[in-house]
A and B are shown apart, each in its own frame.
Chain A
Amino acid sequence: MTEMIKLYDASKCTACRGCQLACKQWNGLKAGQTEHKGTYQNPPTLQHNTYMLIHFQDYVAPEGNVKWLFRKEACMHCTTAACVTVCPSGALYYNKEFGTVGMDREKCIGCKECVSACPFEVPRYDKETEKVSKCDMCETRISNKMNPACVKACPTGALKWVDKEEAMKMAEARVQYLGGDANVYGDKFVGGTHLMYVLPEKADVYDGIHKDPKVPVTISLWKSILKPLSLLGAGGVIGGSILHYFIHGPHKPHPEHYDEPKKQGGA
């Protein structure tokens, strides 16, 4: 496996939204009903038919300067992906070639377990198809040695599709070059993500960013403890019943329980 990273350098992004449109086009997604919120950010959040979105944010820096911050939001393609762990149908899976998280919508049963589990609030449910959807890193493209559609569309070089080692080097070099609060986002949690950011500002100043994403601990309780326990418990009871039957024997009436004394019975 050559782990691949989609590296998004926010300092090079002009928020042209070429990627957002390319994503819609490649995946054949129609525009949905939206709402004007006094910003170019449109639609306001990810939707079942919007797998990625550029965030626009007016940010007043501590020195008093107003900055316009951009951020690409999409599935982060976690190395330890909560969604894959909980998905009961196999609709969500790890791509063995690149380490990304693919999705087979045919298999999705719309149980929404991934919606609750994902620490980045990525999967979105569609009432009409009763299925969930998310970015699959353009699996049909990357498997055929093409760049993801959003990367291909990016005119400024803010988006790159590169192998992990190189991506980490590029990101580090860029952080050095930018200086100040610049940092890499995506390498420190959930085993590392396959969408990573270079951010010119501290991560916490970005609206809607997940500061400390974690795979919910309840998932291991659910999947690693209770799940096997359900079979162990039932198996134990069946075994116990058989033992009881042969050692103690069934519960039978005593002679005194009969109207007239009889020979039969008696435990």
Chain B
Amino acid sequence: MKNKMVVVTSGYERFVHWALAISCLTLCYTGLGILFKELNFLGVIFGGLKGLVTVHDFMAVIFAISLVLAIAMWWKEAGIFVFPEDWEWIKAAGGYLWHLDHVPETGKYNPGQKAFFLTVALCGLLMVVTGFFMWYPEKLGGDLMDWVYVLHVLGFVVIFAFFFVHLYLGTIGNPGSVSAMISGKMELPVLRMLHPKWVKEMEHEGKLMIANDKK
């Protein structure tokens, strides 16, 4: 028997998430081509370094919009820590570092995901603000601009590393979770493992949406 599939994300949620992911990845790619002279050749597919910069500028706008939408959408569920349940989870490291039979239960998003969300939201905003001033450096003047460049690259260091953390945990690190980004559905057992309390609450309120999948 196949596992029951549960609807976990709406089309709108997936759209915003994909827009954010694609623009962020493109910004990392083009950013690398700008940051490293040795990687200037990454611009070849855009007709040269100037083309690469134009793509960075364009994707910056998509990124800024999808970031704002994402923050508005996830703030309540993923932006606020709830104590003491989140604390229990943190003490157990979410079961990621050592084996546990019972990972402490949390809301829809666990503290790891919350910390991730907050980091991306804050670093993303940092990128948008510093990037904006890199378009118009004369607005700030030399001394402040010096720091703007440092912060833009600092944000890049964090975002670039986090991107791979996210990629790992969202795919092979947690088999079964990537379908939330594709079909918007997840297998019930996987869901019970990753978001146990949320499943219970939804079941309790009778809101859990089981997709009528053919067997």
| Cβ-closest chain B residue relative to A251 | B174
The count of A-to-B residue pairs whose CB atoms sit within 8 angstroms is 120
SS class of chain B's interface: helix, strand, loop or mixed?
A: helix
Q: CA A110 – CA B32 in complex, angstroms? A: 17
Q: Is A117's beta carbon under 8 Å from chain B?
A: yes
Contact with B along A118-154 (1 / 0, CB 8 A): 0001000000000000000000000000000000000
Which of B34, B150, B162 interacts with A111 by CB under 8 Å? B34
Contact B157 A230 (CB under 8 A): yes
| Cβ-closest chain B residue relative to A227 | B35
Contact A218 B164 (CB under 8 A): no
Q: CA A241 – CA B190 in complex, angstroms? A: 20
Q: CA A149 – CA B4 in complex, angstroms? A: 80
Contact A234 B49 (CB under 8 A): no
Which of A107, A226, A250, A253 interacts with B154 by CB under 8 Å? A226
Residues of B within 8 A of A250 (CB): 172-175
Q: Is A188's beta carbon under 8 Å from chain B?
A: no
Contact B174 A107 (CB under 8 A): no
Q: Is B146's beta carbon under 8 Å from chain A?
A: yes
Residues of B within 8 A of A229 (CB): 157
Q: CA A86 – CA B137 in complex, angstroms? A: 15
Q: Is A61's beta carbon under 8 Å from chain B?
A: no
Contact A221 B150 (CB under 8 A): yes
- What is the CB-to-nearest-CB distance from A51 to chain B, in angstroms, rounded to a whole number? 19
Contact with B along A192-227 (1 / 0, CB 8 A): 000000000000000000000000101101100011
Q: Interface extent on B, as a size class?
A: 35 or more
Contact B142 A116 (CB under 8 A): yes
Residues of A within 8 A of B49 (CB): 88-89, 107, 109
Q: Is A36's beta carbon under 8 Å from chain B?
A: no
- What is the CB-to-nearest-CB distance from A198 to chain B, in angstroms, rounded to a whole number? 28
Q: Is B40's beta carbon under 8 Å from chain A?
A: yes
Residues of A within 8 A of B176 (CB): 253
Residues of A within 8 A of B148 (CB): 116
Contact with A along B118-154 (1 / 0, CB 8 A): 0000000000000000100100001101111110011
Q: CA A91 – CA B33 in complex, angstroms? A: 15
Which of A233, A241, A253 interacts with B173 by CB under 8 Å? A241
Residues of A within 8 A of B40 (CB): 88-90
Residues of A within 8 A of B173 (CB): 241, 244-245, 250-251
Contact A251 B35 (CB under 8 A): no
Contact B96 A248 (CB under 8 A): yes
Residues of A within 8 A of B149 (CB): 86, 113, 116, 218, 222
What would 26 A/B residue contacts be, using CB atoms closer than 8 Å? A88-B49, A89-B49, A90-B37, A107-B49, A110-B53, A112-B137, A117-B146, A218-B149, A226-B150, A226-B153, A227-B35, A227-B36, A230-B160, A233-B157, A233-B158, A241-B173, A248-B96, A248-B99, A250-B175, A251-B174, A252-B193, A254-B101, A258-B3, A258-B189, A259-B188, A267-B99
